Chain A
Amino acid sequence: MKRIIIDREKCDGCLNCNIACISAHEAGSNFYTVNLQSPAAETRNFIKFDAHKGYLPIFCRHCDEPECVLSCMSGALEKDPLTGHVQYDESKCAACYMCVMNCPYGVLKPDKQTRTKVIKCDFCDDKPDGPSCVKACPKKAIAVKEVSL
């Protein structure tokens, strides 16, 4: 399965990955036009900072045994048998948020605006070039690699 591998020593907290992610989910936008002030602008990846450890990139792992999928009562979250990525079907989701409750890394979240859906990384599987965040990192701290699970 393809996964985003993180070299956190390289991360410099520029948050380009956040911008790229938001732009990837705002149809037709680019880095000039993406509206970072819109309440709908939500990044699926996070950079945290710890005074001792430095920058800590938190990206969905599309886990081998995804707690989110194992808790979904609507069938909205499924692990795609081909790509291995956990995909989300908004039309099925009933916003119960048990997936939010179960992700051990705190990756999932309700949407800020309406609390009627879940915001989660989709690995940009709809994009030919792969995850937008990876392309946007100026330090190449994140890369797509094949991992065997």
Chain B
Amino acid sequence: MNSNFSCKTCASADQILETFISNLSVDTSHHRMEGQSVKCGFGLQGICCRLCSNGPCRITPDGPKGVCGATADTMVARNFLRAVSAGSGCYIHIIENTALMLKKTAASKGVLKGKLALAKLAEIFEINETEEHVCAEKIADMVLADLYKPDYIKMELVEKMAYKPRFDRWKELGILPGGAKSEVFAGVVKTSTNLNSDPVDMYLNCLKLGISTGLYGLTLTNLLNDVMLGEPSIRLAPVGLRVIDTDYINIMITGHQHSIFSYLQDRLIQDDVVEKAKAVGAKGFKLVGCTCVGQDLQLRGEHYKEVFNGHAGNNFTSEAILATGAIDAVLSEFNCTLPGIEPICDELKIKQICLDDVSKKANAEMKPFVFEEKESQSNEIIDAVIESYQARRGVVALNMDADHGNDDTLTGVSEGSLKSFLGGTWKPLIDLIVKGEIKGIAGVVGCSSLTAGGHDVLTVNLVKELIAKDILVLSAGCSSGGLENVGLMSPSAAALAGPKLRAVCESLGIPPVLNFGPCLAIGRLELVATELAEAIGVDLPQLPLVLSAPQWLEEQALADGAFGLALGLPLHLGLPPFVTGSPVAIQVFTQDMLNLTGGQLIIDDNAKSAAETLDAIIEKKRKELNI
């Protein structure tokens, strides 16, 4: 017997990672899959309800309704809307903090690195203000004002941000959102005991939450971050466990709020801080990317090369990253910060500091970010991390894997940088699509999960099938973390694409899978889609564009999915989101949605058949566009 924690770990599309994890002596999410492998059928179908003390009720042949009279359709809809509300809340929390950060940065005349982003937002928001700080503050105020509106007052920026045909359709459907925070509140209230029992009303409500999530939580968060932190720029970057350099004091970051790190990331490379590191035997500090905030740092990495070595992996790679023993501290400000890292950090003496209590770990030091105290807070964090480094390095064994990942992942792709790359216009891309050199575009986005075949298994397999059909893949989220670590976002991956797409990629020197960064960047994909649609003169459902969140994980993903459906796109999921117990849900999502928004839910956990379905949809849309 050896010291491995357990023989039974789940599969991963990332073979090197799978081997690494199977040999670990610590327990990880990959180990825990086995023990949780038999799932309760009631839960899977969404037909279990725990809203009141007459329950928990389950829909069974002997009990076709809950005690209150709720049918399966009601239960499923309530559970789903509640999940979408929570997911929306998560994203709205992010945009709220981001907007507050922008406001304070602007008010204190801080550096605003993204001039282009600022100008663009000013144009969209119709702000006529030349002084950049005043302009930025106005932008922030407008966002906050919308977020804080009550639910009976519609948010004003929706009309400015959304593509007009979409806005008009949403208005017709009566799903324009009121204040984003209030909408979350409303969703939670509506789904409580013996309140709303109209499934269709609840699903329309989900679409409404999808719109506020998408435009504010996703799109605007990116743009506001761009203003503060600089626009993304395309570059080749190293990814995977290999980015961790043991010569440095390494801080792993988890979350979605890049702006929280804006001061710290600059502070860490200042001379006096570097000297502190050298005094204890390290060359300096490095931030190690993990989860969406890591993707954000990677996206804007051109500006942060000194403090950021690279993105090591996605959410379900976080435990492995820590298990290398080379991480000295974890700074968490949002998800995914797995509870599972707590015992690992304890055992490996890794300091945990939580910057936003939404992601507090039981054994983390709580240090909620306060803008006005960012200097002293950063110094305290730095000192705490140095203490951790001293206490643990040399004492805790290292377990590195220099083979994992690669050195040439293309990153920094955004609606702006991609357009620049194409010469400042979308025409080259549109031409390629019209000619059929690129058959269509698939946004393969969202989370990483350990089901659907294993860690990133369905995601990777689906992407391989899609690119083989000459479909260009744009990715955003933890799925990107998985795709890049297995090399699909390296230019060499063009070899796996179909002949036409391969030719395009090789001539441009790009991979067939483009990394837009964090899941927030699903909002960037929406901007790209909107600009393409505008250029062609159609509405979004007419584009040869499909969306897939193959290994969606959490409630935020469901809110993202609601946005995708609201945009009228075909949305593929690998596994059903706990709705199959309701015939109405199936009907609404897979059929009626086409007439409502033009969107459609497709559920298929087989990469091959899912790709064929999506391919067929793209072909159909091409035909309808006469191309």
Partners in one complex: yes
> Which positions in A face B, CB cutoff 8 Å?
10-15, 47-49, 55, 138-140
Q: Which of B32-77 contact A (CB under 8 A)?
A: 37-43, 58, 60-63
Q: Which of chain B's residues have a CB closer than 8 A to the CB of A48?
A: 38
Distance of A120 Cα from B441 Cα, bound (Å): 57
- A–B Cβ pairs within 8 angstroms, 12 of them: A12-B40, A13-B40, A14-B40, A14-B43, A14-B58, A48-B38, A55-B38, A55-B41, A138-B42, A138-B62, A138-B63, A140-B62
Distance of A13 Cα from B48 Cα, bound (Å): 13
Q: How large is the interface on B (under 10, 10 to 19, 20 to 34, 35 or more residues)?
A: 10 to 19
**Do residues A14 and B41 form an inter-chain contact, with CB atoms below 8 A?**
yes
Distance of A15 Cα from B42 Cα, bound (Å): 11
A13 nearest in chain B by CB position:
B41
| A49-B42 in contact given A14-B58, A140-B62 (Cβ < 8 Å) | no
Contact of B38 among A10, A15, A139, A140 (CB under 8 A): A15
Main secondary structure of the interface of B (DSSP, over half): loop
> Which positions in B face A, CB cutoff 8 Å?
37-43, 58, 60-63
**Do residues A139 and B39 form an inter-chain contact, with CB atoms below 8 A?**
no
Q: Which of chain B's residues have a CB closer than 8 A to the CB of A140?
A: 61-62
Known interface pairs A13-B39, A49-B38, A140-B61; 19 further A-B residue pairs with C-beta atoms within 8 A, sorted by A's residue number: A11-B41, A12-B41, A12-B42, A13-B38, A14-B42, A14-B43, A14-B58, A47-B38, A48-B38, A49-B37, A49-B39, A55-B41, A138-B42, A138-B62, A138-B63, A139-B60, A139-B61, A139-B62, A140-B62
A47 nearest in chain B by CB position:
B38
Q: Which of chain B's residues have a CB closer than 8 A to the CB of A47?
A: 38
Distance of A79 Cα from B37 Cα, bound (Å): 34
Distance of A48 Cα from B37 Cα, bound (Å): 9
B181 to chain A, nearest CB (A): 36
The 7 A-B residue pairs with the shortest CB-CB distance in the complex, in nearest-first order? A12-B41, A14-B40, A13-B41, A49-B38, A138-B60, A139-B60, A138-B58
Q: Which of chain A's residues have a CB closer than 8 A to the CB of B40?
A: 12-15
Q: Which of chain A's residues have a CB closer than 8 A to the CB of B63?
A: 138
Q: Which of chain B's residues have a CB closer than 8 A to the CB of A49?
A: 37-39
Distance of A13 Cα from B36 Cα, bound (Å): 12
A40 to chain B, nearest CB (A): 17
B321 to chain A, nearest CB (A): 28
Q: Which of chain B's residues have a CB closer than 8 A to the CB of A138?
A: 42, 58, 60, 62-63
Distance of A78 Cα from B60 Cα, bound (Å): 38
Distance of A49 Cα from B35 Cα, bound (Å): 12
Q: Which of chain B's residues have a CB closer than 8 A to the CB of A14?
A: 40-43, 58
Select the residue from B37, B38, B43, B62 with max chain A CB neighbours within 10 A.
Answer: B38
Distance of A12 Cα from B43 Cα, bound (Å): 10
Q: Which of chain A's residues have a CB closer than 8 A to the CB of B43?
A: 14
Q: Which of chain A's residues have a CB closer than 8 A to the CB of B62?
A: 138-140
